[in-house]
Chain A
């Protein structure tokens, strides 16, 4: 019964996309179909999470072909958690987009194209999370990337085409890396089934393992925007419409992080790249956040913090203990929610204030106190102020790292772990500085102070290359505000229910650190 639900999370969005395309001009029907589909996927994901957590993971053999010949779909706790949080975020952002579309008469997000592409993007994301086969994971990536190309270049203005070209070419290169890695892995092991790879790759010589491992990490690293493969992100995300940027920032990089978690735990359980991951994680944090410091445009600033905070997850994966993975998964969930709600709030600020630049916004606190709250909570959360989930996640990661020092030889030198923890703490503070600076200028500064305002805080910021001027509509449609509020509430709930959630991620991590658990799921009778 539960197994029958698994393929639905991919099928429903795809069927919904087809229906939405057929419905074409009937906007209301289209929006109803899209919302219903994503809402039902969210329900299915919740059911799956409960069932998987209680009764053990679910494996589906597509078409009845037994592994290793057929494609398997695997839903373990990690997949179920990712499915649930992404379904919620996708649904909320869709509601936001509907609200924006209704208010703007669909100028920004032409619904006849937007809804089908958005649903296909969801199908790709869900498919990547339940893929039990490396090639199926590739197909999932391609589905979500193709849809994201369309969404990013929506409307086809010069600015978006330019940003889109960078994004598309970088993604294509990463796909080519991924496909080459699959070809070589298949050549070396004769299988693309993740569970079987876990056993067979371990039998290969160390140097071959290392090459394949690095090739795969390179492909996922570009998608997850890990330094030095993160250069493309701040240039391409901010130009898209607000809902598109929000969902890209929240979800797409996390699909890459998810793939890296799978790579490190199941696929290459024997090959160890701890030191590399630690160094890369630390550099991603610092370089990302230093980039954020110089940005005047809030969208670009948030894009840089996005890159920076991917570093925490990479650090957690690098630690590689049960606590490390547990904290990483909690951090992923927290970051998806918070980053998306910040971008949604930015969309509201853009409508209300008519700009996204720190140099042109002022007096928003007085004009719209509610908007100020909507920005302030996720901003503190991202900056890691207790008691919010950002603080809990970071502390979890730091404790995991500190516990790991001296515990095992494989964990890398102690000083490296302490250095990365220090980098993490610094990053957290600089994030707080960058976001509160924006808060001070845009919300606290009085409107009449805007002309000729001099402040030491503004000394270092630079404008975006081509800051587009937006006309303030001074309207904040109810649906958009409601959607943003929902997401902010979800992020606060992550704090309130941090105990049970951490217990859940702990059980998840317990399965991850032992690759045999995953293998015995797919091959209950042992591998031939």
Chain B
């Protein structure tokens, strides 16, 4: 089996660089290292298909030495797709982890989730219970029985007057 020296050297460099970057502490660098090593492995698989530059097509009367093995190329395609998917997931994970780091230990949780839920539940209970309805109606009736608040009335009439003024000016 013959192989291209350039590809072998490239593979070795990618492996070396990738592994050394993977040993860093930052996840982003680990991801970059994974990409490099992943591509190094892909080249390793590709190297197994024999001499470079030959077409991977077997026809009638074609000498098997004149073609390159198509199977490693199919392997590489699959491996590339898998790497792509995992890289996308890792990027999402890194973004999430960065996001959590920005927000501290609490993350992006809403503070008073439980309180909110409790309030909502109480409100729902109030709406449901007819006794509460009765109480509310009674309250309104009581309120209407009281003397109208003079100050509120004055304010309301002042607002009306302002609005009239504006219309006149137009």
Binding site for B on A (CB under 8 A): 135, 139, 142, 146, 149-150, 153, 156-158, 161-162, 164-165, 168-169, 172-173, 176, 179-180, 182-184, 186-187, 190, 192
Binding site for A on B (CB under 8 A): 1, 22, 27, 30, 34, 37-38, 41, 44-45, 47-48, 69, 71-72, 75, 78-79, 82, 85-86, 89-90, 93, 96-97, 100, 105, 107
Contacts beyond the supplied A158-B97, A190-B69, A192-B71: 11 A-B pairs with Cβ under 8 Å:
A135-B75, A139-B82, A153-B93, A156-B100, A161-B93, A161-B96, A161-B97, A164-B93, A182-B45, A183-B72, A187-B1
Query: Is there an interface contact between B89 and A146, defined as CB atoms closer than 8 Å?
Result: yes
A190, B49: Cα distance in complex, Å: 9
Query: Is there an interface contact between A176 and B37, defined as CB atoms closer than 8 Å?
Result: yes
Query: Is there an interface contact between A172 and B34, defined as CB atoms closer than 8 Å?
Result: yes
Query: Is there an interface contact between A187 and B97, defined as CB atoms closer than 8 Å?
Result: no
**What chain A residues lie within 8 Å of B93 (beta carbons)?**
149, 153, 161, 164-165, 168
A153, B47: Cα distance in complex, Å: 36
Known: A150-B89, A187-B48. A179 touches B79 (CB 8 A): yes
**What chain B residues lie within 8 Å of A153 (beta carbons)?**
93, 96
Q: How far is the CB of B109 from chain A (nearest CB, A)?
A: 8
- Selected from A146, A150, A157, A179, the residue in CB contact (under 8 A) with B107 is A157
**What chain A residues lie within 8 Å of B71 (beta carbons)?**
186, 192
Query: Is there an interface contact between B78 and A146, defined as CB atoms closer than 8 Å?
Result: no
- Selected from B22, B45, B85, B89, the residue in CB contact (under 8 A) with A179 is B45
**Pairs across A and B, CB under 8 Å, 12 listed:** A149-B89, A150-B89, A153-B93, A161-B97, A165-B97, A172-B34, A176-B41, A179-B45, A183-B75, A184-B44, A192-B71, A192-B75
Q: How far is the CB of A450 from chain B (nearest CB, A)?
A: 25
CB-based nearest A residue for B45: A183
Query: Is there an interface contact between A182 and B75, defined as CB atoms closer than 8 Å?
Result: yes
Query: Is there an interface contact between A183 and B27, defined as CB atoms closer than 8 Å?
Result: no
Query: Is there an interface contact between A186 and B45, defined as CB atoms closer than 8 Å?
Result: yes
Query: Is there an interface contact between A176 and B38, defined as CB atoms closer than 8 Å?
Result: yes
**What chain A residues lie within 8 Å of B97 (beta carbons)?**
158, 161-162, 165
Query: Is there an interface contact between A180 and B78, defined as CB atoms closer than 8 Å?
Result: no
Q: How far is the CB of B36 from chain A (nearest CB, A)?
A: 11
A172, B41: Cα distance in complex, Å: 12
Known: A146-B85, A158-B107, A172-B34. A187 touches B75 (CB 8 A): no
A303, B124: Cα distance in complex, Å: 44
CB-based nearest A residue for B82: A142
A190, B85: Cα distance in complex, Å: 28
A173, B22: Cα distance in complex, Å: 10
Q: How far is the CB of B49 from chain A (nearest CB, A)?
A: 9
Query: Is there an interface contact between A158 and B105, defined as CB atoms closer than 8 Å?
Result: yes
CB-based nearest B residue for A143: B82
Query: Is there an interface contact between A180 and B90, defined as CB atoms closer than 8 Å?
Result: no
**Most chain B CB within a 10 A radius of its CB, from A139, A179, A192:** A179
Query: Is there an interface contact between B107 and A180, defined as CB atoms closer than 8 Å?
Result: no
A187, B49: Cα distance in complex, Å: 8
Query: Is there an interface contact between B48 and A139, defined as CB atoms closer than 8 Å?
Result: no
Q: Which 5 A-B pairs have the closest CB atoms?
A: A187-B48, A183-B45, A183-B44, A158-B100, A179-B41
**What chain B residues lie within 8 Å of A190 (beta carbons)?**
69
Q: How far is the CB of B31 from chain A (nearest CB, A)?
A: 9
**What chain A residues lie within 8 Å of B75 (beta carbons)?**
135, 182-183, 186, 192
Query: Is there an interface contact between B41 and A135, defined as CB atoms closer than 8 Å?
Result: no
A165, B79: Cα distance in complex, Å: 21
CB-based nearest A residue for B107: A158
A455, B112: Cα distance in complex, Å: 39
Query: Is there an interface contact between A156 and B48, defined as CB atoms closer than 8 Å?
Result: no
A187, B7: Cα distance in complex, Å: 15
**What chain A residues lie within 8 Å of B1 (beta carbons)?**
187
Query: Is there an interface contact between B38 and A165, defined as CB atoms closer than 8 Å?
Result: no
**What chain A residues lie within 8 Å of B100 (beta carbons)?**
156-158, 161
**What chain A residues lie within 8 Å of B107 (beta carbons)?**
157-158
Q: How far is the CB of B110 from chain A (nearest CB, A)?
A: 13
A153, B37: Cα distance in complex, Å: 24
**What chain B residues lie within 8 Å of A165 (beta carbons)?**
27, 93, 97
Q: How far is the CB of B43 from chain A (nearest CB, A)?
A: 9
Query: Is there an interface contact between A168 and B90, defined as CB atoms closer than 8 Å?
Result: yes
Query: Is there an interface contact between B78 and A135, defined as CB atoms closer than 8 Å?
Result: yes
A156, B97: Cα distance in complex, Å: 8
**What chain B residues lie within 8 Å of A161 (beta carbons)?**
93, 96-97, 100
A173, B78: Cα distance in complex, Å: 17
Q: How far is the CB of A388 from chain B (nearest CB, A)?
A: 40
**What chain A residues lie within 8 Å of B78 (beta carbons)?**
135, 139
**What chain A residues lie within 8 Å of B37 (beta carbons)?**
176
A420, B85: Cα distance in complex, Å: 42
**What chain B residues lie within 8 Å of A192 (beta carbons)?**
71, 75
A176, B43: Cα distance in complex, Å: 12
**What chain B residues lie within 8 Å of A146 (beta carbons)?**
82, 85-86, 89
**What chain A residues lie within 8 Å of B86 (beta carbons)?**
146, 149, 172
CB-based nearest B residue for A185: B48
A169, B31: Cα distance in complex, Å: 9
Q: How far is the CB of B90 from chain A (nearest CB, A)?
A: 7
Q: How far is the CB of B73 from chain A (nearest CB, A)?
A: 12
